[in-house]
Amino acid sequence: MLSQELQAALNKQVKIEGDSSQIYLAMASWAENQGFEGIATFMYAQSDEERMHMLKLIKYINQRGGEAIVPHVEQPTLDHTSFKTLFNQLFEHEVFVSKSINELVHVSLQERDYATHNFLQWYVAEQIEEEATARTILDKINLIGDDKGGLYLFDNDIKNFPQQQVNQNI
């Protein structure tokens, strides 16, 4: 059984994962409207992945005797001045999510809830991958600079960027 504090912390993470899905969805829509087919494809896939992260948390909370709270949807506030700005925001958001996961792990250890601690290790590893992916993309964008040909190739390549496998055992 989850403690009230841990249940509240997990539900807070449910909201963060839901917000992450919305952020990626907004980025996908912007990219699609700008003609960046590859970036849009990547962002739509990331949005789906973040939603799956949210669902995994919801199911875990309920399985542990807690009550998962389905969060309300908020429209993301993003700076759409350039695709580089968009990816910088993506990286900053992933760092924020990592900090939130780390705080959850801390709460689980304080509560001596080792089942939740074990469950959260998947998210810890996932965030390492998410931050690394965002950092790699930013490195590629910095290499491109203002080269339109490079941007074309980047947009074409990112749609084939290795998508992380979403855990189907939700």
Name the residue among 30, 111, 120, 21 with its Cα closest to residue 73.
Answer: 21
Q: Torsion angle of alpha carbons 14, 19, 22, 27, nearest 10°?
A: -130
Distance between CA atoms of 122 and 109, rounded to whole angstroms? Answer: 16
Q: For 98, phi and psi rounded to 5 degrees?
A: -60, -45
* Residue 127 is labelled as binding a ligand: yes
* Residue 67 is labelled as binding a ligand: no
* Residue 163 is labelled as binding a ligand: no
* Residue 53 is labelled as binding a ligand: yes
* Residue 110 is labelled as binding a ligand: no
Mark the binding-site residues for Fe cation, compressed into ranges. Answer: 17, 50, 53, 94, 127
Mark the binding-site residues, compressed into ranges. Answer: 17, 50, 53, 94, 127
